[in-house]
Structure formats: C-alpha cells, structure tokens
Structure 1
Amino acid sequence: MELCSNHEQCESRSSQIKLTKGFAAKEPVRGHMVNLVKGMKLYENIFTDSELSKLTHFVSDLRTAGHNGELSGETYILFNKQIKGNKRELLQFGVPIFGHRQEDATSNIQPIPPLLQGVIDHLVQWQLLPVYKKPNSCIINFFDEGEYSQPFWKPPHLDQPISTLFLSESTLVFGRFLVNDGEGNYKGKFTLSPKEGSLLVMRGNSCDMARHATCPSPNERIAISFFRVRPDSTPAHSPHGPMTLWNPTSPGPYSYEPMDMVMPKWGLLPAPVVMLAPAPVPQMAVSPKKIPGSGTGVFLPWNGSHRKPAKHLPPRAQKGRVLHLTHAVETHVAEPASA
C-alpha cells in the first residue's frame, strides 16, 4: 500500500504547504524571560483528504490487530485501562524510544510499516524534516473520548526535531509549568489546537525546554509521532523488558533547572515525575489517588558558572561573596539526598 498514487505531483506539492511559525510564550528561566516555544513550526495542507483517510483506516486496522494479539512483542501497548480519562493505548514501531538504543540490540517491536515509512519519506522529500535526522521510530497514540496524556518532556537520547502528525483535531498545552485539575484539564503558558492533517515540528526550546500535554476532548483522536533515537554504545536497559519511567538525570544544553512541572487541583503542590511511558504490566497502573503528594525529590542543579564577584569590591568582600555562594549551592544540592 502506497501513500500517494502520483509521485510526480507529490514533488511539486511542497509549494502548497502552509507554514505557521514565530510562536511565542515567555516564562522566566533563571532570571531571564525565555520563549519556551521558540523553534516550533506547524504545517498544514500536507496530505490530501484521501491520503488522510487511508492513513486513518490503516492505523485503525493496526489497532484492531493489536486488540486481537496479532502484533508481536510490545508493538501494541494498553495501560491504565481502569483509570478513567488516563487510559493510554499506543502502537510503537521501529527503534524503541523507551530507553537507550544499542547498535547490536535486537527488539521485539515490529519495524515501521511501509505506509508510515512513506509518510516519513514524503516529509523528508518536502524538506519538512531534515534528511540527516530522518526518523527511525514511530509511535501512534489513540485517545478515546475524554482521555488525556501525561506531560511529555524529550529524553536526552532522542534527537531533534520531534514531529507529530494529527489525524484528528486536538488541543495541546505547552509550558515549563503545567497545572492540572486532576481530570486532565491542563493550564500552561501556551495552547495550540492543530487541525486534522496538521504536522507539528518541534526544535530548539520547544523541544528541550517546554513540556506538552494533550488535553481531554469529546472526540476520539489519533496522533502519529516520529522520533530519531540516537545509537548508544553504553549498557542500556533491555528493549525486551517492561517500559519504565524516564527521569531527567542531567541538565540539558540550555542549562535550566527542571522541576516538578505538574500541579494538581489548580494548587501549588508538585505532582509525581513526568511519565514518558508507564510500564505495561498491570501492577504499574497505579490510581492517581494513591500517588503521594509530596513530590519526587527530583532536582537538577544549575550547571552554569557562578556569578563572578564584582570587580569594584575589595578582595576580602569578594572572597566572602564566593564562600557564601559556594555554601548555598552545597546546601541546595544536599537537600534532595536527605529527603
């Protein structure tokens, strides 16, 4: 099955694609106002109605095959089935994103189907995605009526850009801080409602600094996300094992201080760590009511250099200033360890 029937017409279609960019949503980061969605681009009029219909029917058939146990390994995953609004159902193909990739590792996840590979090839052909960062991983998320996602923050083993093709109209919220009323109604600095057939491409700050979440909707939604997983020669978790929570372990290249970003019930209490993908085993499907409200204690120290002492201060004052800063940093880092 091919995506388009006339490849010659496909080559000239790039001129018809609508691009929206220049999104702005500033939040304070280490004392400076930063545009958290810088680098975000939204493309429309990419695929025809017949092509979108073909894609929708194809992924729906894959979903049915997953229900019937016809897909190998962890290609089809269903978790949190008993939790209202937070059930997640997905299909993953290609290189698994849940953990680092090893060059010699084998996976029990099926390769990217030819039709979806055709989508990737066309996005590269139209220069919507760079050829040197061509995706090698694909995840299809299904959201039924009223369902929502957990906030997503790009783990370090994924390359930029990250792109999502929406087969249904959706609403997403972006921000360094996301507030949740407990029913998936997120509030953030920036809200985006991509139309059916839109492609969202995230680079730069929008990929590395902002978290995003899918909000509940009265409609069913399908979103296809494309990733490029970096090869890693260091020991990693087996791709055959259950998927786990991903916690940030070191500051990103933008040198900001990640914190617990989700706040329940419009309050100020930190929520559990952001979940990239819960484990598919039943015992991992924990009710939100049982999650402790004291936070996770995840803290990433600021990796930028300390402020230089003012030159006009006398040496003794400069020395005292440096000692004071050093003591403050040591105390700040030690607190999570004692929690």
Structure 2
Amino acid sequence: SDEEEREASCLAKRQEPQQEAASEEGDDDDGDAAYLNFSGTMNGDASGFASTENPPKTFVASEIHDGKSVNIAEGLKLYEDLCDDSEISKLITLVKDLRASGRKGELQGQAFVVSKRPMKGHGRVMIQLGTPPTFFPNHNLSFPPFPADIKTEPLPESLQDVTERLLAKEIISIKPDSCIVDIFDEGDHSQPHSWPHWLGRPVCVLFLTDCEMVFGKSLTVADHPGGDYRGALKLSLHPGDLLLVEGKSADFAKHAIPSVRKQRILVTLTKSLPK
C-alpha cells in the first residue's frame, strides 16, 4: 500500500549514515599533509560496547600523509550524554571547590598547577587527581617534570562514580586511576598537541561545558589571531559528552581547542602506566 511504501522510505532515510564534507585545505610545518574530507557516522562498535544503550559515534577524517590517505580519526569515539545535567552540575561544583582550595594553597604537591597562559595541550588551570602519570623527561611537554614521589589529591568519589559507569557500560575494560581537570577561561585556546605516550590508552575526556575540539595531523590557524584552528575534523561537544581517544586519533593526530568567549572545563581520565 502507499502507506507501507512511505513508512519503508522513512525507515531507509533514518538508516542512512550522516555525512558532512568540507573543502578547506591546510599544511603543517613539514608540508606532508593536506585536508581532504570529513564524514561523521553513527556506527556502533560491537567490541567492548555490548551493554550500552546508545552506540558511540565514530568518525572518518582523511588526510594525505606520505602519499597515502590516512583516517586520523581512527580510534575516536563519541559517547553523548554520558552524564545528566544533575551530575554535571555536581562535578562543576567540585571543580570550583578544588580550584578555590588550590588558590588557597590547600591542595598538596602538584595537584594544582596555574600558569599565566594556557599550557601546551592544557588549560590555564590544571588540577591533578589520583595516581600521577609516569615520570617523563622535560622536553617541552605540558607539565613540569614530576618526580617519582609526587603528591596529588585522591580521586573524589563523584569522579570514581564516573569511572565505575565507564566499566559498567563496557566503554573501557580497565578502571582509570589518574585524572587531569583542565580549565580554559574565556578567550583561552590550546596549542596543537598530541596526547603523550606516557598517558595510558584509551584517553577518556569528559566535557563539563560546551567545547569545540579540532583534530588533524595538519592544523592551521585562520587569518585573524585568536586560536581559530582548522583541521580535518571539528567536533562540537556538550556537557555530559565523553570522547574516547586511542589509535591514530591519539598517537598520530594532533588536537586543539579554539578560542571562544566562554569558560570550558574538561576532565581527562586515564590509567597510569607502570613506572
């Protein structure tokens, strides 16, 4: 019947993958990558994600590297609305309280790190919780070179609840024990940066505010100043969204946070590597 044909047509349209295309081009300092295309899909990953209600979004963002097309978004998954508004509000309050305590000198060791401008790959304010990352050499990285006996604040219960949920939903298989909270103030932007090898994989980034993040082997800046980055993939994240980053999206691609007139708060959860 005509009604059955209309229903079948609507169902087919809903099942088509969502795609976007752009025509911007950019080269990095080495001139070895050019922007080609981006398409976002809503494909679920059957491995390790059987018990979740909503499958993650996965992405394809291709760049040319050494004459070959490379998906720089391989290993990148977006889990939308992992936390509800009530939980996000509680986590924001926690971050504000930790920031206030840090300003008063009440947090131990390197738990509270502040700089005059955003640190490479991190915000102007960084709060370190849980097990500190593995010791690493000081070669223009984001943090000071933490000694092996560094002291940080323990992981708060509310963040432990988040890690338990990641395990229960089979988003990850190993419980994170290290947390970095980054605060970007109004107008701040991050420099293009890759997640360092001494952070365990996968890297989970929970967004407590709206935030844009750009990915690409080659990231360019628009003509006007202010950290308006262009890359193969640009995501608009919302409070409660979680990015899981591994594979080429973590080890090959760079990422950056553009400058906008609002504060942004990111919570990065990882499993510390053995020393």
Q: Shared topology, TM-score over 0.5?
A: yes
User: Is residue 66 from structure 1 mapped to residue 109 from structure 2 by the alignment?
Assistant: no
Q: Is the 8 A contact 1:17 1:46 kept in 2?
A: no
Q: Equivalents in 1 of 2:208, 2:153: separation in Å?
A: 22
Counterpart position of 1:55:
91
Q: Is the 8 A contact 2:227 2:259 kept in 1?
A: yes
- Say if 1:35 and 1:57 are closer, same or farther in 2 by CA, change over 3 A: same
TM-superposed CA distance for 1:81, in Å, is 4.6
User: Is residue 189 from structure 1 mapped to residue 226 from structure 2 by the alignment?
Assistant: no
Q: Is the 8 A contact 2:178 2:272 kept in 1?
A: yes
Counterpart position of 2:113:
77
Q: Is the 8 A contact 1:100 1:231 kept in 2?
A: no
Q: Equivalents in 1 of 2:124, 2:110: separation in Å?
A: 14
| Greater strand share, structure number | 2
SS at match of 1:65: helix
SS at match of 1:192: strand
Q: Is the 8 A contact 1:158 1:229 kept in 2?
A: yes
SS at match of 1:193: strand
- Where does 1:35-46 land on structure 2 (aligned, <5 Å)? 35-46=71-82
Q: CA RMSD, aligned part only?
A: 2.3
User: Is residue 167 from structure 1 mapped to residue 208 from structure 2 by the alignment?
Assistant: yes
Counterpart position of 1:265:
none
Counterpart position of 2:11:
none
| % identity of equivalent residues | 36
Counterpart position of 1:29:
65
TM-superposed CA distance for 1:72, in Å, is 0.8
Equivalent residue for 2:245, pick from 202, 225, 249:
202
Read off the aligned partner of 1:19 and give its amino acid letter. P
SS at match of 1:117: helix
Q: Equivalents in 1 of 2:179, 2:123: separation in Å?
A: 20
Q: Equivalents in 1 of 2:76, 2:237: separation in Å?
A: 12
TM-superposed CA distance for 1:18, in Å, is 5.1
Q: Equivalents in 1 of 2:126, 2:178: separation in Å?
A: 13
TM-superposed CA distance for 1:158, in Å, is 2.3
C-alpha distance after superposition, 1:77-100 (max 9, x if no partner): 1112599xx971110112323734
SS at match of 2:211: coil
Q: Equivalents in 2 of 1:87, 1:35: separation in Å?
A: 27
- Say if 1:17 and 1:209 are closer, same or farther in 2 by CA, change over 3 A: same
Q: Is the 8 A contact 1:17 1:45 kept in 2?
A: no
Q: Equivalents in 2 of 1:108, 1:95: separation in Å?
A: 9
Counterpart position of 1:332:
none
Equivalent residue for 1:20, pick from 54, 57, 63:
57
Read off the aligned partner of 2:88 and give its amino acid letter. L
SS at match of 2:191: coil
Q: Is the 8 A contact 1:173 1:215 kept in 2?
A: yes
Read off the aligned partner of 1:74 and give its amino acid letter. Q
- Where does 1:1-12 land on structure 2 (aligned, <5 Å)? none
Q: Equivalents in 2 of 1:33, 1:69: separation in Å?
A: 50
- Which residues of structure 2 form unaligned runs of 5+? 1-50, 138-146
C-alpha distance after superposition, 1:292-338 (max 9, x if no partner): xxxxxxxxxxxxxxxxxxxxxxxxxxxxxxxxxxxxxxxxxxxxxxx
Q: Equivalents in 2 of 1:195, 1:91: separation in Å?
A: 21
156-165 or 106-115, which moves further after superposition? 106-115
TM-superposed CA distance for 1:147, in Å, is 0.7
TM-superposed CA distance for 1:68, in Å, is 1.4
In the superposition, the TM-score normalised over structure 1's length comes to: 0.58
Equivalent residue for 2:264, pick from 214, 217, 221:
221
Counterpart position of 1:253:
none
SS at match of 1:165: strand
Q: Equivalents in 1 of 2:182, 2:269: separation in Å?
A: 11
What is the aligned length? Answer: 212
Counterpart position of 1:128:
171
C-alpha distance after superposition, 1:41-69 (max 9, x if no partner): 10112222211111111111111111111
Equivalent residue for 1:154, pick from 181, 195, 199:
195
Q: Equivalents in 1 of 2:191, 2:101: separation in Å?
A: 25
SS at match of 2:88: helix
TM-superposed CA distance for 1:121, in Å, is 1.4
Q: Equivalents in 1 of 2:70, 2:260: separation in Å?
A: 30
SS at match of 2:260: coil
Counterpart position of 1:111:
154
